[in-house]
Amino acid sequence: MLTHRWVDIDPIAAGQHPLYGIAGWLPWVLAIAIAGPTWVFWQGLSMDALQLAGADLFDANAPGSGAINLTTLLYLISCVTVLVLATTHDSAFRPAMLVHMALLPPLIGLMLMAGGIPGARSTFIDGVAVAAALTLTCGVYLQLSRRVRITFELRDWAPGEHAWFKRQKRAAAG
């Protein structure tokens, strides 16, 4: 039975572990977790939204430009934060990724709705769907992945945990 009792391990031992590092499924999870909000972001900033804001997005008097600029800033900060935490193997990576995947896509739609951007309601609905899909796939991987725990939290299964899972050494034939 899987109980997932995680215990702290030595940083040197974690660095020597074969599952240490960003490899396996983790790069794909990172790519999907960045691609999902990116898709919602670009759907929200359609040509209609950009035309409403006018040519000068940084003009505070243009209608909708503040919402677009704030959404862009939030999107960039969230994506860069997740990627920096991943590359530096920071222990805050897993919680930050879960927040990034669950909250950023619908928040993009909410911010655009608050700014009166056309099509923001459908962007919010898309954002909720993307957040649910990301959380149910990539979020589950982040919660259960041994690689994520070893690399970012310096934790591994408790000794004797999952003993049935380990390969049995066969006696030498002869």
7 falls within a domain: no
Residue 130: domain span: 20-157
Number of domains in the chain: 1
Is 1 a residue whose pLDDT tops 80? Answer: no
For residue 62, what are its two tokens? 């243009």
Tell me the average pLDDT across 128-133: 94
Do 56 and 67 form a contact (C-beta atoms < 8 A)?
no
24 falls within a domain: yes
Give the model's confidence band at 152: pLDDT under 50 very low, under 70 low, under 90 confident, else very high.
Answer: confident
162 falls within a domain: no
Is 68 a residue whose pLDDT tops 90? Answer: no
User: What does the pLDDT look like over 11-24, one tens digit per residue?
Assistant: 777 677 777 777 77
Is 127 a residue whose pLDDT tops 80? Answer: yes
- CATH number of 67's domain: 1.20.140
Do 36 and 130 form a contact (C-beta atoms < 8 A)?
yes
If one compares 6 and 134, the residue with the highest pLDDT of the two is: 134
The percentage of residues in the chain with a pLDDT greater than 90, rounded to a whole number, is: 27
2 falls within a domain: no
Is 147 a residue whose pLDDT tops 60? Answer: yes
For residue 92, what are its two tokens? 């805050």
Helices and strands counted in the chain (H then E): 8, 2
Measured distance CA(109)–CA(129) in Å, rounded: 12
User: Whole-prediction pTM value?
Assistant: 0.74
70 falls within a domain: yes
The predicted pLDDT at position 64 comes to 66
If one compares 148 and 22, the residue with the highest pLDDT of the two is: 148
User: What does the pLDDT look like over 74-86, one tens digit per residue?
Assistant: 999 999 999 999 8
128 falls within a domain: yes
The predicted pLDDT at position 124 comes to 92
15 falls within a domain: no
If one compares 5 and 107, the residue with the highest pLDDT of the two is: 107
84 falls within a domain: yes
